[in-house]
Amino acid sequence: MTALASFSAMISANSSLLLVVLMLEALVGYPDALHRRIPHPVTWIGRLIDELDHRWNTGSTAMQRWNGIASVLILVAVPATVGLALEFALTGWIGFALLITIATTGIAQRSLYLHVRRVLVPLSNGDLTKARKALSMIVGRDTDELDNRAISAAATESLAESFCDGIVAPAFWFLIGGLPGLFVFKAISTADSQIGHLDSRYRHFGWAAARADDVMNYIPARIAGCLICMAAPGGWRTMLRDARKHLSPNAGWSEAAMAGALTVQIGGGAAYDGEWIARETLGNGRRPDAADLKAALTIYLRACLFLWATIGALIWAL
């Protein structure tokens, strides 16, 4: 069998598994009762990153950057090894079921929907205090002073960006790399969220994590934007025009697509830990309100279904 045929066979097998994983995760997610007994695997990765940060984020600028690169190599090697070991160990029907169950922990369709709903419900009822508190669980910006439209814009941005980070990207890496690919992506994504910042503490140590995350999200981000546009065709023009305005090389694709789909304007400057970060706006028109956030959730659900359909088409084609 040629290398191309072997790769095609692997993609075919992984795509069938992935479709089941997506459907199962959408139904059950990671139940709170289970989380209370067994913390989500992302928290295990987070502890490893914290330990690396504590031990290695020190010394000269050059030392911090080299230690950051070494940390990323560890965050590739350890998850990849664990993923390979599980794939070899999980055989038979029981192993097959366990592999699918484990893979669902890397996807966040259900949890993302529920987290944004927790913002939408109090926002729709005029309870800005509860809406801000719920929003603070899904965004990094300061939320204490945000009004109705600012809350709606922040939640819409987070929903669009997380559609890539939490769903399309992990699905993509599972498709081409199985459990090892999924685990490596989740490790790099978690590292980016914890240490991939531009502040004085992480500018050098977190540089490699941030760049690795940019690379791993490059293709998925563009797929995510296209899926949102498929779910609401009005997003194409805005996505192609505004995606590159974002500070991130990737986040702008899904965010601009969502802005165009809703015919609203999102983005713009925001405060992070009291520091104002200037950002360009994405889209045209007014700032979104609670009704727009509700519409964004509907578009999100459609985009998830288009992802399922795309994987189904891939299974049929292979």
Mean pLDDT for 216-220 is 97
3-class DSSP string for 266-278: EECCEEECCEEEC
Residue 166: count of CB within 10 angstroms of its CB: 20
229-250 in b/e form (b: 16+ CB < 10 A) is bbbbeebbebbeebbeebebeb
3-class DSSP string for the chain: CCHHHHHHHHHHHHHHHHHHHHHHHHHHCCCHHHHHHCCCHHHHHHHHHHHHHHHHCCCCHHHHHHHHHHHHHHHHHHHHHHHHHHHHHCCHHHHHHHHHHHHHCCCCHHHHHHHHHHHHHHHHCCCHHHHHHHHCCCCCCCCCCCCHHHHHHHHHHHHHHHHHHHHHHHHHHHHHHHHHHHHHHHHHHHHHHHHCCCCCCCCCCCHHHHHHHHHHHHHHHHHHHHHHHHHCCCHHHHHHHHHHHCCCCCHHHHHHHHHHHHCCCEECCEEECCEEECCCEECCCCCCCHHHHHHHHHHHHHHHHHHHHHHHHHHHHC
Q: What is the pLDDT of residue 178?
A: 93
pLDDT digits (tens, 9 = 90+) for 226-276: 999 999 988 999 999 999 999 889 999 999 999 999 999 999 888 877 778
- 8-12, 116-120, 192-196: least confident range: 8-12
Total domains, the chain: 1
Query: pLDDT-derived band of residue 310, with 50, 70 and 90 as boundaries?
Result: very high
Residue 100 to residues 25, 86, 95, 103, 183, Cα–Cα distance (Å): 9, 11, 9, 5, 13
Instruction: Name residue 134's amino acid.
Output: A
- Cβ atoms 206, 68 nearer than 8 A: yes
Q: What is the pLDDT of residue 188?
A: 95
Q: What is the pLDDT of residue 266?
A: 94
**Distance between CA 190 and CA 254 in Å, rounded?**
19
**Distance between CA 144 and CA 243 in Å, rounded?**
28
Q: What is the pLDDT of residue 38?
A: 57
Q: What is the pLDDT of residue 39?
A: 64
Phi, psi at 266, each rounded to 5°:
-125, -175
- Cβ atoms 259, 267 nearer than 8 A: yes
Asked if residue 224 has pLDDT above 80, the reply is yes
The token pair at 215 is 């690379």
Asked if residue 3 has pLDDT above 80, the reply is no
Average pLDDT, the chain: 91
Residue 217's domain spans which residues?
Answer: 3-317
